[in-house]
Chains A and B, each alone.
Chain A
Amino acid sequence: MESALAVENLSKSYQRRLRQPGLLGAVKGLLASQFEQIQAVQGLSFSIGRGEKVGLIGENGAGKSTTLKMLTGIIVPTGGRLEVLGRVPWKERRQLALNIGVVFGQRPQLLWDIPVQETFELLKTMYRIPEDVYQAVYGEALRRLGLGPLLGTPVRHLSLGQRMRCDLAAALLHAPAIAFLDEPTIGLDLSVKEQVREFITDIQAKFGITLLITTHDLKDITETCDRLLLLDKGRLLFDGSIRAFEQKYASDRRIVAETHKPVDPSAAQSLSRDIGNSGGKVVEAGGHRLVVEYREEGAAPTLIQLILQQFQVVDINLEKTDIETIVTRIYRQPSLPE
Chain B
Amino acid sequence: MRPLARPLSFRESLLGYLTYLNRALKANFAYKASTFLGLFTSGLAYGTSVLIWSHVYGQKGVSIAMSRRAMFAYLALAFCLNYALSINIDQRVGQRIRLGLIATDLLKPLDFQLSQAMQALSDCLFNSFVGLTILAWVFYFLGGQILPKSPEALGLFIISLFLAFLVQYSIVFLFVQGAFYTYSGYGIFASRLALHQTFSGFSAPLTLYPPVLLSVGRWLPFQHVIYTPISIYLGNVEGAAALRLLGEQALWGLGLYGLGYFTMRKALGQLEIQGG
Contact for A183 among B8, B26, B268, B276, CB less than 8 A: B276
How far does the Cβ of A326 sit from chain B's closest Cβ, in whole Å? 22
Of chain B, the residue at the smallest CB distance from A109 is B104
Contacting residues, chain A, for B106 (C-beta < 8 A): 73-74, 93
Contacting residues, chain A, for B133 (C-beta < 8 A): none
Specify the main secondary structure of chain B where it touches its partner: loop
A97 touches B107 (CB 8 A): yes
A139 to B182, CA, bound (A): 43
Any chain B CB within 8 A of the CB of A259?
Answer: no
Contacting residues, chain B, for A74 (C-beta < 8 A): 103, 106-107, 271, 273
Contact for B272 among A14, A100, A102, CB less than 8 A: A14
B2 touches A208 (CB 8 A): yes
B107 touches A102 (CB 8 A): yes
Give the contacts of B143-191 with A (CB-CB under 8 A): none
A76 touches B104 (CB 8 A): no
B8 touches A75 (CB 8 A): no
Any chain B CB within 8 A of the CB of A199?
Answer: no
Contacting residues, chain B, for A105 (C-beta < 8 A): 276
Of chain A, the residue at the smallest CB distance from B23 is A122
B103 touches A69 (CB 8 A): yes
Render B1-38 as a binary contact track against A, CB cut-off 8 A, 1 for contact.
Answer: 11011011000100110011001001100110000000
A97 touches B109 (CB 8 A): yes
Any chain B CB within 8 A of the CB of A146?
Answer: no
Any chain B CB within 8 A of the CB of A154?
Answer: yes
Contacting residues, chain A, for B269 (C-beta < 8 A): 76, 90
Render A156-184 as a binary contact track against B, CB cut-off 8 A, 1 for contact.
Answer: 00000000000000000011010000110
Contacting residues, chain A, for B31 (C-beta < 8 A): 113
Of chain B, the residue at the smallest CB distance from A170 is B104
A65 to B272, CA, bound (A): 12
Give the contacts of A24-54 with B (CB-CB under 8 A): 50-51
Any chain A CB within 8 A of the CB of B217?
Answer: no
Contact for B15 among A118, A125, A133, CB less than 8 A: A125
A94 touches B110 (CB 8 A): yes
Could you show 13 A-B contacts with beta carbons less than 8 Å apart?
A60-B276, A65-B276, A69-B103, A74-B103, A74-B106, A74-B273, A75-B273, A94-B109, A97-B109, A98-B109, A109-B104, A111-B23, A113-B31
| Chain B residues within 8 Å of A, Cβ to Cβ | 1-2, 4-5, 7-8, 12, 15-16, 19-20, 23, 26-27, 30-31, 99-101, 103-104, 106-111, 268-276
Given known contacts A74-B103, A107-B99, A125-B16, what 4 new A-B pairs fall within 8 Å (CB)? A112-B27, A126-B20, A133-B2, A175-B2
